[in-house]
Structure 1
């Protein structure tokens, strides 16, 4: 009951805010109206800590506003600036250009997008890659890919960085949980949708991945961050 009351209060406040903001701006000449819409869209994206969706942006512009054209015009104005507007995780976000990464790292000790996430070990990166390509996938299926047990600790490490989440239960015996990637994963790696993942043929052509070896459990893990070749992430918990 309390949750329903809170949602009604939030919806009422939103409708009130919408009435206070003139989104259509019909009193303005077309050019000034467009400039105002551009400013609103860029301000909302600039202030957000995560990618902003089309639905969110539609709250601050009129019904006749084409958000895609607004985004294009903002991008044109940002040419030559040290940051750009990118499509990630089903929305838009400001990102610093890679050419300024060294300057940002020298000044702040962080990467160009603010840091906050530690680098993935080789084992974590390989498991995350498999989840991205084969999701929804169980821990047992991941272990079969590598021919080694993928530990709960490794899965927990990926979850703690919000790169993966629990997916639907598998129809296999015991109905184990599956794992899927998150919007944070797409945002962190600059993907708008999962269709932006490189296809296997491109990775194979570049010599970075062999699907046959992966499915046969024949991908060498190597040594990364002190991890042994026979260990895919800490204690082996069944």
Structure 2
């Protein structure tokens, strides 16, 4: 059997050698559009089943993108090969991201109201530079403040298929800490995590902040931390 006779081999090769997740449209191009999107999705489902129980798994992320990634059990092993630490972010950055992710779209004023302190401009800049958030418009109120929302890259880096895969933060359904481990090439969201159903449960966001803090190595932002922001708000 030749390569052209087995579309799954072609899809497997394309996905394993790609540096970025691939869409079904792109994967159809690899197959010279000889198959429909439905057929390509069927091949992907078969390919995912073929790789079950191995060190890599095929996952759908960012609502329609596909990639191979290591399974959680490989995490400690891979760290031995790549001992350098993944980038970590301050509590301010993480809390700002959490507010945007769960309340989006939000303004700086919304973030300040929830967190109780003036928004650190470096936190917003860090998230914009990381391409985890973007400005999607302006609110029709006095001053027309910018509205922030998360990006598709945010979903890709966390290994999420959609925002509905964000862990629930209701008081009766605490998410696992690993669900918020933000780094390039996030392995996956634990299967046990409950999808967000009730947005009113976001009142428990302060409880989640304590969990997030364990994942953070502070970055040097000079003297524009929350403490100085509270004393000298913009």
Q: Tell me by how many angstroms 1:92 deviates.
A: 0.5
The size of the alignment, in residue pairs, is 196
For 1:158-169, list aligned pairs within 5 A: 158-169=127-138
Give the distance between the partners of 1:130 and 1:101, measured in 2 at CA. 28
User: Is the Cα–Cα contact under 8 Å of residues 151 and 234 in structure 1 kept in the other structure?
Assistant: no
Q: Which runs of 5+ in 1 are unaligned?
A: 1-27
Q: 2:95 aligns with which of 115, 121, 126?
A: 126
| SS of residue paired to 2:22 | coil
Q: Note if contact 2:3-2:9 (Cα within 8 Å) is conserved in structure 1.
A: no
The answer for unaligned runs of 5 or more in structure 2 is 176-199
CA distance, structure 1, for counterparts of residue 27 and residue 213 of structure 2: 46
Question: Compared with structure 1, are the counterparts of its residues 225 and 73 closer, same or farther at alpha carbon in structure 2 (3 Å cutoff)?
Answer: closer
What RMSD in Å do the two structures reach over aligned CA positions? Answer: 3.3
Q: Which position in structure 1 is the counterpart of 2:35?
A: 63
Aligned to 2:69: 95
**Is the contact made by 2:3 and 2:10 (CA closer than 8 Å) also made in structure 1?**
no
Residue 110 (structure 1) shift: 4.8
Q: Give the whole-Å Cα distance in 1 for the aligned partners of 2:99 and 2:112.
A: 10
TM-score by length of 2: 0.71
Alignment partners' CA distance in 2, 1:190 and 1:234: 35
- The answer to whether residue 53 in structure 2 is matched with residue 107 in structure 1 is no
Mapped contact 2:90–2:218 kept (Cα < 8 A) = no
Q: Secondary structure at the match of 1:198?
A: coil
Q: Do the aligned partners of residues 187 and 233 (structure 1) sit closer, same or farther apart at CA in structure 2, a change above 3 Å counting?
A: farther
Task: State TM-score, norm by structure 1.
Answer: 0.70
> Are the structure 2 counterparts of residues 188 and 232 from structure 1 closer, same or farther at C-alpha, using a change threshold of 3 Å?
farther
Partner in structure 1 of residue 149 of structure 2: 180
Shift in Å, 1:105: 0.7
1:74 partner SS: helix
User: For residues 234 and 188 of structure 1, do their structure 2 counterparts lie closer, same or farther at Cα, with a shift above 3 Å needed?
Assistant: farther
Q: Is the 8 A contact 2:127 2:133 kept in 1?
A: yes
In the TM superposition, what is the alpha-carbon distance from 1:132 to its structure 2 partner? 0.8
